[in-house]
Amino acid sequence: MADSLDEIEATLSDAIDITDDERAHERLEHAREELRELRESGEVDGERADDLETRIDQRLRGVDERENYEVDAMGAARSPDDENA
């Protein structure tokens, strides 16, 4: 478990640089779980924790959108139609 919000923020920063979507997703989910555990301990700044949670959620959505875009682009390349050609 992370000992502080600083450690979670560092994990979030590291996850931003990961180009492998699956690894990035795993790292972000891990950061989310650590944040949940810190919140349960009751020893964190609630406002800062809320901000980190929002940033984690945004990054997760970004990874998911990137994955979806790559799948859509691959499908269009394999079987182009009038829209995608």
The structure tokens listed for 74 are 């691959």
Q: What is the DSSP letter of 20?
A: -
Q: Which of the 8 DSSP states describes residue 17?
A: T
| Alpha-carbon dihedral sign for residues 19, 48, 53, 57 | negative
Confidence at residue 15, expressed as pLDDT on a 0 to 100 scale? 87
Q: What is the pLDDT of residue 28?
A: 95
Any residues with CB less than 8 A from the CB of 75 and at least 6 apart, and which? none
pLDDT band at 77 (very low <50, low <70, confident <90, very high): low
Q: State mean pLDDT over 12-21.
A: 89
What integer pLDDT is reported at residue 8 of this predicted model? 93
Mean pLDDT of 41-49: 90
Q: Are 52 and 9 in contact (CB under 8 A)?
A: yes
Which position has the higher pLDDT, 78 or 6? 6
- Give the 3-state secondary structure of residue 81: coil
